[in-house]
Amino acid sequence: MELCLESGYTSLNHIGEELCGDHVEYCVNGDYTTLVLADGLGSGVKASILSTLTSKILCTMVSNEIDIVECISTIIETLPVCKERGVAYSTFSVIHVNRQGQGYLFEFDNPEAIYYHNGVAIDFPRQTLDVLGKQVFKSELNLVPGDIVMVMSDGTIHAGIGQILNFGWPRDKIKEYLNRHLDENMTARAAACVLASACNEIYEGKPSDDTTVAAVRFRERMDVNVMVGPPVNKEQDKEHVERYLDGPGYKVVCGGTSSQILARHLGKRVVPALDFPDKEVPPIGYIDGIDLVTEGVITLRRLLELSRKYISISDLTPKFFEKQDGASLLADILFERSTHVHFFVGQSVNEAHQGLDIDITMKLKLVESLAANLRIMGKEVTLLYD
């Protein structure tokens, strides 16, 4: 069983500010994923610059296996200290973990991370380190599939101060909320959005502090194979279909012609759905042995719109898809369930599209734009053209 790591985050800007004073940086280097959430003091441009510098420096150094004490020393010695408050201009949380779920978490002045394990939000055991007179907390990570590690800026625990809650949102109450609303099958991005959305509600939509939640989730690999369009040469149909069918995981086909070619190869038939959940998205179909059959270009257009909202770090709409139209069903498979996506793209011109505002170039651009957004989500994407 191959295991994978996924990450995601959501940010709320201080009311009236165009820039967020928090910044999240993450990278994958070999077997390790590194995520850094930094919170610049105050808000606005200065906070944004300092949190960006902090997160980028730490992510680069940690991902290159530089000793964490040296990494933290570099930040403490590089960034200034606020003369009025006597505190660092930027706080941070660092997650560094490999594909076996082993690694560490370091925290400096950010709210304590939350560990979602076996369906319960709990605390990590912490070791206190002294780095140049600063108190830094270290936790060992030994994650299992379904585990989620959540780090956050202090906008979460300050939520509601002077508004709904007199003293902010206590961490114990945050854990209680997550126990009710998190699910181990949620993606990291969805989990981060759950907490950030709750903070926004407590702030009554007017955050008085920058608020960022970032999450890393440990999960099993899931492949999805997507056939889009027939190959240029009809003689390649069989080879094209067989390559597609040979891949492990979910099987999805987009487009009427592709569906007919696939059904013919399998000795099956395409059965159209009788319901029409969304009038703007053509209905799906069914082929025995295939997980999802959708229309082509119109469905992919809607899917691309959904992907843009999904990757937006400020969009607070739920990151799951309950509607039953083709685009929503495909979004659930690609955004929520998949870790590896393989597109089998046929470049044949569809005669049915002659005279319409649809051509092969448009279809290829849709697939390539979708692939780019899936990569932003952390998926590994391959494109095979015929």
Q: How many domains does the chain have?
A: 2
User: Quick one: average pLDDT of 216-243?
Assistant: 91
Domain boundary among 198, 219, 240: 219
What is the per-residue pLDDT for 89?
72
Domain match, 17 and 154 both: yes
User: Quick one: average pLDDT of 257-268?
Assistant: 93
Domain match, 146 and 264 both: no
Confidence at 44, pLDDT banded by 50, 70, 90? confident
User: Quick one: average pLDDT of 302-313?
Assistant: 96
Confidence at 80, pLDDT banded by 50, 70, 90? low
Domain match, 279 and 193 both: no
Domain match, 176 and 236 both: no
- Specify the CATH number for the domain of residue 164: 3.60.40.10
- pLDDT surpasses 70 at 360: no
**DSSP character at residue 274:** S
Confidence at 350, pLDDT banded by 50, 70, 90? low
What is the per-residue pLDDT for 347?
81
Candidate from 58-72, 99-113, 176-190, 346-360 with smallest mean pLDDT: 346-360
Domain boundary among 186, 204, 219: 219
Q: Which residue bears the tokens 């009236």?
A: 16
Helix (H) or strand (E) holding 182: none
Would the CA dihedral through 126, 158, 212, 62 be positive or negative? negative
Q: Which residue bears the tokens 């978490």?
A: 105
Domain match, 186 and 84 both: yes
How many helices, marked H, and strands, marked E, lie in the chain?
A: 9, 18
Candidate from 76-90, 245-259, 268-282, 360-374 with smallest mean pLDDT: 76-90
User: Quick one: average pLDDT of 284-289?
Assistant: 95
What is the per-residue pLDDT for 355?
52
pTM: 0.91
Domain match, 208 and 244 both: no
Domain match, 25 and 171 both: yes
Domain match, 146 and 279 both: no
- pLDDT surpasses 90 at 65: yes
Domain match, 196 and 256 both: no
Range of the domain at 7: 3-219
What percent of the chain has a predicted confidence (pLDDT) above 70?
Answer: 93
Domain boundary among 219, 238, 254: 219
Structure-block tokens of residue 83: 């003369």
What is the per-residue pLDDT for 87?
56
Domain match, 178 and 276 both: no
**Of residues 370 and 163, more confidently modeled:** 370
What is the per-residue pLDDT for 235?
82
Domain match, 215 and 228 both: no
Domain match, 214 and 232 both: no
